[in-house]
């Protein structure tokens, strides 16, 4: 088999309250599912390293079970200006179909008053690989706007993308 | 920016925006190309104008609508930033998956071991 290209991450707007993220991984669904759910493995990849590190991760992966990820923002690379501070994301599992589907609530605790999001993840086999489709449905259009606008500050260069590259898929 | 999201969430308004990406058009031409009734087109154009997505110009007897790219570019920047966040996570996950695959090979079994 040819060495596969690194997967491309796509992001689409879905209606006025949801987002869809899609990515192909070079591993079968059971491995990707484990990496997505086992807290000791989540700790190795979930914090975007340029901005934060994970300091604690717990997960009780069954319907009604809770998970909580605690991150510490790197100095000078604050998540919402939280440099040096810790902040947590948490939620509860709504559906657990091993190696195939997951659904869980997801709350950014410092902004819990603004609402939450329900994430539905599908792990689809593509040959020996996995296509991961994660749909984030926010409790309001306002909250999705906040997450896109301010919730996830990124220090990346501000490129003015060509309009042709704009993903405007609404389903 | 919520105005932009709300304006684009309506499928016919999105079609109008996509049509105008190819260039400015008079109102009646928009209706004809998208097979929409004139009052409907006018209503959608009003919402798009309020959201700052289109500009209108009177040319001869016609009202010509053109896209204002600025709100769309802002939206594109936000989407790209959020996409980049996930892309960074996923690149890290790629490395973890490679590690897990290597471990499996070494143990000779197809399952990851629980620590």
C-beta of residue A54 within 8 angstroms of C-beta of residue A66: no
B60: left (phi over 0), alpha (psi -120 to 50) or beta: left
Mutate one of A3, A28, A44, A115 to test the B interface: name it (highest B CB count within 10 A).
A44
CA dihedral A157, A15, A64, B110 (to 10 degrees): -60
Q: How confident is the model at residue A141 (pLDDT cuts 50, 70, 90)?
A: confident
C-beta of residue A153 within 8 angstroms of C-beta of residue A73: no
Beta carbons of A160 and B2 less than 8 Å apart: no
A52: left (phi over 0), alpha (psi -120 to 50) or beta: beta
C-beta of residue A14 within 8 angstroms of C-beta of residue B72: no
Residue B102 burial by Cβ neighbours in a 10 Å radius (0-12, 13-18, 19+)? exposed
Structure tokens belonging to residue A50: 């340029």
pLDDT, tens only, A8-42: 899 998 988 999 999 999 999 999 999 999 999 99
Q: Is residue B97 over pLDDT 90?
A: yes
Beta carbons of A32 and B97 less than 8 Å apart: yes
Residue pairs spanning A and B at CB distance below 8 A = 125
Q: pLDDT value at position A4?
A: 44
List of chain B residues whose C-beta atoms are within 8 Å of the C-beta of residue A161: 73, 76-77, 80
| B21 CB-near residues (< 8 Å, 6+ apart) | A163, B67
pTM exceeds cut of 0.95? no
pLDDT, tens only, B50-60: 999 999 998 88
Q: Is residue B20 over pLDDT 90?
A: yes
């Amino acid at each position: 088999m040819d060495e596969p290209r690194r997967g491309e991450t796509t992001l689409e707007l879905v209606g006025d309250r949801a987002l869809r993220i899609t990515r192909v991984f070079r591993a079968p669904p059971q491995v990707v599912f484990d990496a997505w759910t086992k807290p000791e493995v989540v700790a190795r990849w979930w914090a975007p390293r340029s901005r934060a590190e994970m300091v604690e991760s717990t997960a009780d992966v069954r319907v009604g079970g809770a998970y909580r990820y605690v991150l510490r923002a790197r100095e000078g690379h604050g998540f919402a200006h939280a440099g040096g501070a810790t902040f947590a994301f948490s939620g509860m599992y709504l559906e657990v179909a091993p190696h195939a589907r997951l659904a869980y609530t997801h709350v950014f605790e410092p902004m819990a008053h603004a609402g939450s999001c329900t994430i539905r993840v599908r792990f689809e086999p593509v040959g020996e690989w996995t296509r991961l489709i994660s749909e984030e449905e926010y409790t309001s259009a306002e909250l999705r706007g906040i997450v896109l606008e301010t919730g996830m500050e990124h220090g990346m260069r501000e490129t003015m993308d060509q309009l042709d590259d704009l993903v405007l898929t609404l389903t | 920016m919520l105005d932009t999201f709300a304006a684009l969430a309506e499928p016919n308004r999105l079609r109008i925006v996509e049509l105008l990406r190819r260039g400015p058009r008079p109102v009646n031409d928009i209706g004809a190309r998208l097979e929409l009734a004139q009052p409907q087109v006018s209503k959608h154009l009003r919402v798009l104008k309020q959201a700052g997505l289109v500009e209108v110009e009177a040319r001869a007897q016609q009202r010509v609508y053109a896209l204002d790219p600025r709100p769309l570019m802002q939206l594109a920047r936000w989407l790209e930033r959020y996409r980049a966040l996930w892309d960074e996570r996923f690149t890290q996950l790629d490395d973890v998956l490679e590690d897990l695959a290597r471990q499996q090979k070494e143990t000779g079994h197809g399952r990851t071991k629980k620590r």
